[in-house]
Structure 1
Amino acid sequence: MTDDGQPTSDEQAGDRKLLSLSEPAGKRLLATTVLGSGMGFLDGTVANVALPHIGDDLHADLAGLQWVVNGYTLSLASLILVGGSLGDRLGRKRVYAWGIAGFAVASVLVAIGPTIETVVLARVLQGVFAALMTPGSLAMLQASFRPEDRMRAIGAWTGTLGIATAAGPVMGGWLVGIDWRIAFWINVPLAAIVLWLLKPAPESRDEDDVYRFDWWAVVLAPVTLAGITWALTAWPDTGPSATTVGALVVGILAGVAFVLFELREPHPMLPPAIFASRDFSVINIVTLFVYAALSGSMLFLAIFLQVSAGWSPLEAGAATVPVSIIMFFLASRFGAVATKFGARTPMVAGSAVLTVGFAWLALAPDGPSYVGQILPGVILMGLGLSMLVAPLTGTVLAAVPDEESGLASGINNAVSRTAGLLAVAVLPLLVGLSGTAYRDPAAVGDAYRASMWWCAALVAVGGILTAVALRSPASEAQPATTEG
């Protein structure tokens, strides 16, 4: 019971048994969420590595390739709050299953797309279904595990995803080297395995929530992101044309309208009250900086290694495998550190290490040595992300009541995807890359190095904000629990 006599979220679960990470049912649920989320991570990796080949095969310019990435991210970022909200209301397991199945179908459409336009449309559809499955994975962990196991489960989820993330560059690079279309077929067998593992998983929902669809938010959020993204993507080629400026104005006005409607809506998709938690607000701002840097760096690194360094897709994909291996072994450990001592210290340290990693990568010449000029930066990226991701994610979910875990996960995922969306749209503009310049080794090399410095600056700002604004370790650390 709470201090005011109200039942806690665990008591509200009724007869639903909370799982332990050490029991078979808990391990199966963890595997289910890891494999499902892994599809999204793997798909993003494959898309980045495949971009030069998609451009050659479909005769696309840089703007078209940006939309292969941003079409997916746009629909995902716009609708992920809907996915989290639907999971809270209709059942997190059910909505997660819808997302997995739909994502597999959309992946087939990407694989058979005959033009850049059809591939972009299929990627948009992928993002729609990813918006259903992405918030559900973390929300199921938060709602299904015992409180003392949740941070460990989230850390294990983060680290174990390293397997899928590590397999993505290697397997994706190998498949792209054969035919980029084959790389998207891999989601079909993965989805079948996830749906099979999901069958015995417990269902959870917010039984007290009153459902009312927020149509204004569903319409205005995509218009906001689409208008701004379209303008930023087109600007390098068209400049301040009437169409570009018009799209930017429409996006900004839609964003203002979105905020005003959410403040007045009785049942908003993005409840302003959830931002009353200082930790929740701070962590989401930090997420914006960190994931913008991460998305931008991975995109430019994949293109740079193939175009400027002349590496094969397999070599370019394998270059970032150490990031995933390091996270696999260390992310869960830093999750445990955050549980005991608070999230601020590992997050600040992780930001500093990640900043140095990006700076190291920014020094690479057009013909880099992997061991001396790429690998050290990649190792620092893996170490920094291991310190950052689990504490960041755990703090977001711990900052809200358990019954709002799907919404909190959805908001944080929306912020991270929006960060990636803006990074892919803005960085080429900032570093002067446009049109077919992505085929010019010298132009790509210069743009890559400038983009890495931008990424280093973004993470540094996120680290400073964490140090200044996140609660002190003494106030945020949770007391250790013992059994027996």
Structure 2
Amino acid sequence: MVAVLGASVLASLDLFIVNLAFPRISRSFAGASAQELSWVLNAYGVAFAALLAPAGRIADRLGRRTVFQAGLAVFTLGSLAAVAAPGVAALIAARAVQGVGAAVIVPTSLALLLSSAPEDRHKRMVSVWAATGSVAAALGPALGGLLTEIDWRWVFAINLPIGMVALLFSRRLGQAARTGGRAPDLVGSLMLAVSVGALVTALSYWTEWTPASGWLWTALAISAAAFGVFVVRCRTHPVPAINLAVFRSMPFTAAAVGMAAFYVGFSIMLLGGTLWVTNVWYWSPAMTGLAFIVGPGTAVATALGAGRAKLDPRWFAAIGGALFLACGAMWSAALSAASPSPSFFLAGLVLTGAGAGVAQTGFLAGASRSLPNEEYAAGTGVINTARQIGATLGVAILITIVTTGDNPTAYPGAWTAMGAAGALAAATTLTFLIRSRSPKTVDEPATEIAGR
């Protein structure tokens, strides 16, 4: 429990804690451009997205405990490198290393927890695992704000004792039998990383390069070519990086697109909101962190409620996207530099927190219900990959719009983009027609876990 839950805390904390430290990181590297600094967030997301799906297969092949321990060690070493980073390039590289470690930790942690306990305790184990991640996400903003007040490097230093304790206790974990077989296609994973990275670069530098720039079209061409290679390898390799067969289901495809669009809006909200209150209203990191507790706190409550409600998953997905659209419209109309009243800002955090809680439940539950049992694992990997890609693209879009974040007049465009992403996520539910083998509802075990 200590080993696996420690890993869950590491993965959950990163969602908020680094975003809240971003303004202070930017000031520490004043010579770096906004596009360069965005890679402090995006390097993690690209590495995570590319390796998340094959990591589970690697663990089954080499041994879950061995791979889990390797992931913990890599994440902890990446955190240590981030603490000691002398410049922005070193920090970006350290964040990519953290992303590799996180991609290995996430798919192996719950499997190890369940394999270490008898079957009659599995439901309790899942509840504790899910609750630990939720609590870590809820406390992340406050902790990140307080640590950033001291020094932004502390947001990475906090990972070191957690990682070392988890590694120490992981020696007591059982080693599940290895399945053997061929290794997953890491070349395909690399092509996915290159494709997403080149697309993010093109989006980030869109205004600086202009549409007439050869650099812009070169980046887009590299992205398209790498994605083409990735698709070909997924179709021909015996153990592809991602099983494309899941996309034969239209509801699943809609859920994957919807999850990616939703996380575009989510990352714009999270980083954009942080930049707004720190660069425009000049809130302290501690005050910013306390304000952002509202979002994950609301998300935990609504996700638990969604897990027990008897509604079709597409309604949850549509409601979540609509709440982000509502927040974007409200912030565009109500937030201003001249009137730093927090009421509308906090109301937006409540809306987006509720949206995150119900939308993720809807997309995950809807995607799983549209697949046969033997494709659940592949489908979950694809949905989580789509989530990470969406979050990475959202950061790139935000940086394109607000650049350094000092100009208040640029933010309405960011809030409009956030609302548009929510609208697109909601629109995917028009094709999100669930055709299950039995009349399931969202309060059944698999989808209740998704809600949690």
**Shorter-chain TM-score: what band?**
0.7 to 0.9
Supply the distance in 1 between the matched residues of 2:195 and 2:279 (Cα, whole angstroms).
Answer: 33
Supply the distance in 2 between the matched residues of 1:138 and 1:281 (Cα, whole angstroms).
Answer: 25
**2:322 alignment partner in structure 1:** 352
Cα deviation for residue 185 of structure 1 reads 0.3
Write the letter of the residue equivalent to 2:416: W
> Retained in 2: the 8 A contact 1:151–1:394?
no
**2:227 alignment partner in structure 1:** 255
Deviation string 1:79-110 (CA, Å, 9 cap, x unpaired) is 22221321343344442332122111110100
Supply the distance in 1 between the matched residues of 2:365 and 2:153 (Cα, whole angstroms).
Answer: 36
Supply the distance in 2 between the matched residues of 1:404 and 1:98 (Cα, whole angstroms).
Answer: 27
The yes-or-no answer on 1:135 pairing with 2:77 is no
Supply the distance in 2 between the matched residues of 1:68 and 1:263 (Cα, whole angstroms).
Answer: 33
Q: Cα RMSD (Å) of the superposition?
A: 3.1
Given candidates 40, 48, 53, the residue that maps to 2:19 is 48
Q: More deviation in 51-60 or 133-142?
A: 133-142
Where 2:205 maps in the other structure, the secondary structure is helix
Supply the distance in 2 between the matched residues of 1:396 and 1:45 (Cα, whole angstroms).
Answer: 26
Change (3 A) 1:163 1:479: closer
* Aligned counterparts, 1:77-476, within 5 A: 77-137=49-109, 160-195=132-167, 198=170, 207=179, 210-239=181-210, 240-337=212-309, 341-362=311-332, 363-369=334-340, 371-397=342-368, 400=371, 406-429=377-400, 431=401, 433-434=402-403, 437-438=404-405, 440=406, 443=407, 445-471=408-434, 475-476=439-440
Supply the distance in 2 between the matched residues of 1:137 and 1:292 (Cα, whole angstroms).
Answer: 26
Cα deviation for residue 301 of structure 1 reads 0.7
Change (3 A) 1:138 1:416: farther
Q: How many residues matched?
A: 441
Cα deviation for residue 35 of structure 1 reads 4.0
Change (3 A) 1:216 1:303: same
> Retained in 1: the 8 A contact 2:43–2:96?
yes
Cα deviation for residue 410 of structure 1 reads 2.7
Cα deviation for residue 155 of structure 1 reads 7.3
Q: More deviation in 155-164 or 66-75?
A: 155-164
Change (3 A) 1:281 1:84: farther
The yes-or-no answer on 1:477 pairing with 2:441 is yes
The yes-or-no answer on 1:66 pairing with 2:38 is yes
Cα deviation for residue 397 of structure 1 reads 4.8
Change (3 A) 1:189 1:418: same
> Retained in 2: the 8 A contact 1:139–1:405?
no
Change (3 A) 1:54 1:44: same
Cα deviation for residue 184 of structure 1 reads 0.9
Deviation string 1:263-303 (CA, Å, 9 cap, x unpaired) is 22232121222323444322211111111110121111111
Cα deviation for residue 396 of structure 1 reads 4.1
TM-score, normalised by the number of residues in structure 1: 0.81
Supply the distance in 2 between the matched residues of 1:153 and 1:288 (Cα, whole angstroms).
Answer: 29
Cα deviation for residue 344 of structure 1 reads 2.4
Supply the distance in 2 between the matched residues of 1:79 and 1:367 (Cα, whole angstroms).
Answer: 45
Change (3 A) 1:371 1:236: closer
Supply the distance in 1 between the matched residues of 2:63 and 2:367 (Cα, whole angstroms).
Answer: 21
Supply the distance in 2 between the matched residues of 1:148 and 1:468 (Cα, whole angstroms).
Answer: 38
Gaps of 5+ in 1: 1-27
Supply the distance in 1 between the matched residues of 2:173 and 2:313 (Cα, whole angstroms).
Answer: 30
Where 1:263 maps in the other structure, the secondary structure is helix
Write the letter of the residue equivalent to 1:334: A
Supply the distance in 2 between the matched residues of 1:416 and 1:284 (Cα, whole angstroms).
Answer: 8
Cα deviation for residue 189 of structure 1 reads 1.7
Deviation string 1:432-468 (CA, Å, 9 cap, x unpaired) is x33xx43x3xx1x222222122111211221222244
Cα deviation for residue 154 of structure 1 reads 6.4
Supply the distance in 1 between the matched residues of 2:22 and 2:155 (Cα, whole angstroms).
Answer: 12
Where 1:268 maps in the other structure, the secondary structure is coil
Supply the distance in 2 between the matched residues of 1:122 and 1:243 (Cα, whole angstroms).
Answer: 26
**1:24 alignment partner in structure 2:** none
> Retained in 2: the 8 A contact 1:155–1:331?
no
Change (3 A) 1:168 1:412: same
Write the letter of the residue equivalent to 2:208: D
Supply the distance in 2 between the matched residues of 1:143 and 1:419 (Cα, whole angstroms).
Answer: 32
Supply the distance in 2 between the matched residues of 1:166 and 1:416 (Cα, whole angstroms).
Answer: 19
Cα deviation for residue 54 of structure 1 reads 1.6
Write the letter of the residue equivalent to 1:450: G
Change (3 A) 1:143 1:401: farther
Change (3 A) 1:241 1:341: closer
Supply the distance in 1 between the matched residues of 2:443 and 2:86 (Cα, whole angstroms).
Answer: 57
Change (3 A) 1:369 1:74: same
Supply the distance in 1 between the matched residues of 2:312 and 2:172 (Cα, whole angstroms).
Answer: 34
Supply the distance in 2 between the matched residues of 1:478 and 1:84 (Cα, whole angstroms).
Answer: 26
TM-score, normalised by the number of residues in structure 2: 0.86
Cα deviation for residue 119 of structure 1 reads 0.8
Supply the distance in 2 between the matched residues of 1:152 and 1:398 (Cα, whole angstroms).
Answer: 23
Gaps of 5+ in 2: 446-452
Write the letter of the residue equivalent to 1:354: F
> Retained in 2: the 8 A contact 1:159–1:327?
no
Q: Determine what percentage of the aligned residue pairs are the same residue.
A: 25
Supply the distance in 1 between the matched residues of 2:127 and 2:207 (Cα, whole angstroms).
Answer: 40
> Retained in 2: the 8 A contact 1:155–1:332?
no
Deviation string 1:409-440 (CA, Å, 9 cap, x unpaired) is 332221111111111112332x3x33xx43x3
**2:449 alignment partner in structure 1:** none
Supply the distance in 2 between the matched residues of 1:164 and 1:357 (Cα, whole angstroms).
Answer: 25
